[in-house]
Amino acid sequence: MKTLKIPEATIIRLSVYSRHLTDVDRKGIVTISSGDIAEGVGVSPAQVRKDLAYFGEFGTRGVGYNVKDLHRHILKILGLSQDWSVCLVGMGNLSLALTTYKGFRERGFIITSIFDNDPQKIGTTVNGVEVLPVDRLEEVAKANKTQIGIISVPSPYAQEIADKLISAGVQAILNFAPVVLNVPPEVELRNVDLAVNLEVLTFNVGTRRS
């Protein structure tokens, strides 16, 4: 892989390409062109070629890409050639939806532990995983060698949970709480604020109407 900084938008598109290649492979298609990929995901062929060029030479000019080989390369680039141990903190409706999403396991994200502080939820089982009390988070996350933590708790508790995850050695956090978290530079943080994304949509719709 080249040492230049890869745009985040490229990484996002690689994930989309990967899912498209999964669908194409299931249909038994062996070879695919940049134009085919572009048509399938809604970008230009030049964009597909540019995104892939960050990581080396793939395919054969005039022939295209071998679907399985390209998919394998992209999975490796995205770090998906291995399984990732994930813990989920906060067992609300959003978390329930996340635990039932089959795409996580298919992509190698394995929810190995779930935590909550509600006595009525602690001890229950969600998709084969027991809901444990939050005060066991560090102990269990360390034992499971958890690499990724998902925070889905009310805002006032999010930083405390983040601190526990970091103390347990978690390397990356996906945060659904609408609050800014403080994490050390070595911990990857991705914030998903659903309200902000909806507001971007309404802004764009309103701009088109004006």
The pLDDT tens digits for 88-130 are 999 988 888 889 888 888 899 999 999 999 999 999 999 999 9
> Residue 80 contacts by C-beta under 8 Å, 6 or more apart in sequence?
18, 107, 108
Q: What is the model's pTM?
A: 0.86
Residue of 61 and 140 predicted with greater confidence: 140
pLDDT the model gives residue 210: 64
**Residue in 148, 152, 149, 156 with CA at minimum distance from that of residue 192:** 152
Please count the other Cβ atoms lying within 10 Å of the Cβ belonging to residue 85: 17
Q: How confident is the model at residue 46 (pLDDT cuts 50, 70, 90)?
A: very high
**Per-residue pLDDT tens over the stretch 145-156:** 999 999 999 999
**pLDDT confidence band for 3 (50 / 70 / 90):** very low
Asked if 176 and 192 count as a contact pair (C-beta separation under 8 A), the reply is yes
DSSP per-residue string spanning 138-201: HHHHHHTT--EEEE-S-HHHHHHHHHHHHHTT--EEEE-SSSPPP--TTSEEEE--HHHHHHHH
Q: What is the mean pLDDT of residues 133-146?
A: 97
What pLDDT, in 10s, does the model give residues 187-205? 999 999 888 888 888 988 9
> How much is the pLDDT for 1?
42
Measure the CA dihedral 192/196/199/205, to 10°. -40
Strand partners, 143: none
Task: Give dist(CA 168, CA 145) in Å, integer.
Answer: 8
